[in-house]
Structure 1
């Protein structure tokens, strides 16, 4: 029940579109290892390249890694807040901020912050999120619908995830 699609994805245009000229956007991209872990989490891609330095070498790096084990491109950064007993999620993407308030929290995990994005490998795009293993270092990519993380967090029944997938589908170029 994982959400994967064969999509003609242009990695460069998708990354540029995700940042959309907004240097304040929490841009993040990383290579993936065979087990979907991010060996350079806040590492090679994040430290070596900044928003201003997305040059041809950066995109060559991404293209090469997308044909190996894949890359993770964060497209939506989310935080949550609880006010007056109601939970709302702030979704940051492109040059926008959206306040999303699910009517029902039964299938929703409330978190402090989360990274939602896509895994791109050989033209196949898988929607999911980055998952922290609890140690603060070991981060990996987990597809929506998988049991690789908390069931509510990755659930396709989660109204937040449904909204995030809609947003991400519109961001893939």
Structure 2
């Protein structure tokens, strides 16, 4: 299971393919600060690019931010619910919906909504997620397997994370 890989993707095609147009998320790609916070999401960016369509200016902005501190590209959105015996998640990715159900309730954390994606830097791609709730008020990037925030949420022992890693890996390999 690869959570860090060489940056060998076409960023423009990856961004274009990843768009879900999810009404809850206004930023599907966000610049990162040196400590992996997302200043645009938090309303603290010193530079913002407002776009009506994905034009050359938008991709110039993304390329510039990749070479500064990287960008976070949200690839899938997840909603979850839990019953007494199972947790069920609906995952939206690239215009498709996937369902994931598990009875391993001790290994997953059910959240109302989360997003998963990749941190893109000039030389590598790292799978991760933005986390809100229980981790502070500002969402931030945390790598799968990280001890940041909630270990259950980011753990590689979490069957949901393993499923999402597979989905995102297949997505990136299909570009």
- Please tell me the TM-score bracket, short chain as reference: 0.7 to 0.9
Map 1:120-139; keep pairs closer than 5 Å.
120-132=120-132, 133-135=135-137, 138-139=138-139
Deviation at 1:123, TM superposition (A): 3.0
SS of 1:111's equivalent in the other structure is: coil
Deviation at 1:58, TM superposition (A): 0.6
Structure 1 residue runs of 5 or longer lacking an equivalent are: none
Map 1:1-173; keep pairs closer than 5 Å.
3-19=3-19, 23-24=21-22, 26=25, 28-41=28-41, 48-50=50-52, 53-83=53-83, 85-132=85-132, 133-135=135-137, 138-172=138-172, 173=175
SS of 1:48's equivalent in the other structure is: coil
Q: How many angstroms apart in 2 are the aligned matches of 1:118 and 1:33?
A: 15
Q: Report runs of 4+ in structure 1 exceeding 3 Å deviation.
A: 22-27, 42-47
SS of 1:101's equivalent in the other structure is: strand
Structure 2 residue runs of 5 or longer lacking an equivalent are: none
Q: How many angstroms apart in 1 are the aligned matches of 2:92 and 2:21?
A: 13
Greater RCO, 1 or 2 (C-alpha within 8 Å, sep 6+): 1
TM-score w.r.t. length of structure 2: 0.85
1:30–1:38 contact (8 Å) kept in structure 2: yes
| Number of residues of Structure 1 aligned to a counterpart in Structure 2 | 166
RMSD, aligned CA:
2.2
TM-score w.r.t. length of structure 1: 0.86
